[in-house]
Structure 1
C-alpha cells in the first residue's frame, strides 16, 4: 500500500486523521469502498438519465434527434457529440443511417453531455455568424418529459428546506431546467470524483459554487435524481445502495 500510494495523496488522509497513521490507512480503505459503492449507484443513474433524455428527445424529434434542425446545440455539446461519434467503430460510422446507430451513439455520450443539455446553452459558430443557443427551448420541447417525478420532488425539497429553516433556499427550488441541471451537476461532480479516484473524505468540490458537497449530501442527490427519473428506480436504489452503511461506518467517527 505504501509503495502504491503517492505521499502527497496519502498526506491528505493523514491530515483528516490528525496524523494518526493507523486511522489514515483505515480512512484510505474506507474511501476506496465508499467510492466503489457510489460508482455502482451512479452507473445505474447514468444509464437511466441518458435513456430518459434520449427517449424524450426521440418522442419529440425522432430517434436521430441530434440531426433535427430544430435541435440547436452549442459548440460544447456539438464537440461532445462529435467525440462520442468518433468512438464508434468505423463500420458503424460508414453507415450513419443504420438502425443501431442511435443506441450506439447514445451509449457513448457521457454523463456530462446529458447534464450540459440541461444548462442554459452557449454559443455556436464563429464570428460574424456566432449566435447564442437557448437550451430552454430543448427543455420545454422535450427534456422536461424525462423527469416525470420532477415536480413532486421539487415540492418535497421545498418543504424540506422550509422545515430546516434554510433562509431563501426554498425560493430557488422549483421544477425548472436550472434546478434539474443543478442536481445533475452534483451527481456528475460525484461521478467524476470517484472515476478519477479522488478522495471523498473531505467532500466533493462543486465547480463554480465555491463549496464542497458532503458524502451524505451526495447520496441525497443521487436518490433525488433517481426519484425525478423513476419512482420505482429510486425505491430500488434506496434499498440496494451500499453507501448508507459505509457512511455510518466511517473510521474515527463518533460512535
Structure 2
C-alpha cells in the first residue's frame, strides 16, 4: 500500500479517484493501480491506429482539394473564403497562419490540425468538393449519396479527434467504447484504401490490449 500511496501523491488523489471508483465495481484483484497501468498501455497502443487514420484521411481530403482547386489550393482565395469564420471555427485561421510562412502544399498538409480536415466534411462543402470529388478520393466508402457519406465521415473523425485529445491530455479512456473507436478508424481507412487497413490490422496492438481489459469481462 505504501507504493500506491506514493503513486497517489505523485499523480494526485483527484487523478486516481476515477480509477478507484471503477476498481470498486470490478472483481477482486483489480485495483486502481492496475487500471491506471492498463489505461496507459491502451493509450499507447491506440496511437498507431490514430496516427494512420489521421494521415490517410487528411491525404484523401488534400487530394480532393487538389482536384477541385489545383495543387496550390491553400492559396486559393475562393476556397479560403468558404472556410467557416465563426469564433469557434479554427479551419480558416489555421490555414491562414500556415500560408503566411510556408511555400509548399505538402508542408501545409502535414501541419494542419485534424479539426481543419474535419471541418471540410461539413455540408458547406458538399456542392463544391464532396459531390464532385468524394468518389474519386474515397472510392471504397459505402455506396450512398456523397452528402450521406460525408456526414458519416465527419462523425467518425469527430469520434477519433476526441479520443486522440483524451490520450494527449493523459485522461482516462477505460470507460469509452474503444471497440467503436477502432471501428470508426477502420471505416475511415477502408474508405481510402482497404489494403492499408489490412496492413494496420496485421500490426496494431490495440485490439490485443483491449481484449485483456480488466473491466469488460468482469463487470
TM-score, with normalisation over the residues of structure 2?
0.82
1:238 aligns with 2:201: yes
1:81 aligns with 2:95: yes
The residue aligned with 1:8 is: 14
SS in 2 for 1:151: coil
> Does the CA-based 8 Å contact 1:57-1:143 persist in structure 2?
no
1:222 aligns with 2:195: no
The residue aligned with 1:34 is: 42
Distance 2:208 2:15 in 1: 25
Query: Compared with structure 1, are the counterparts of its residues 108 and 144 closer, same or farther at alpha carbon in structure 2 (3 Å cutoff)?
Result: farther
> Does the CA-based 8 Å contact 1:64-1:102 persist in structure 2?
yes
| Offset at residue 17 of structure 1 (A) | 0.5
The residue aligned with 2:4 is: none
Distance 1:69 1:230 in 2: 31
The residue aligned with 2:141 is: 150
1:110 aligns with 2:100: no
* Higher alpha-carbon deviation: 74-83 or 239-248: 74-83
Unmatched runs of 5 consecutive residues or more in structure 1: 87-92, 121-133, 155-173, 204-213
Unmatched runs of 5 consecutive residues or more in structure 2: 1-6
Distance 1:177 1:253 in 2: 32
Distance 2:161 2:139 in 1: 20
TM-score, with normalisation over the residues of structure 1?
0.71
Deviation string 1:125-171 (CA, Å, 9 cap, x unpaired) is xxxxxxxxx2222222435533111125x7xxxxxxxxxxxxxxxxx
Structure with a larger share of its residues in helix: 2
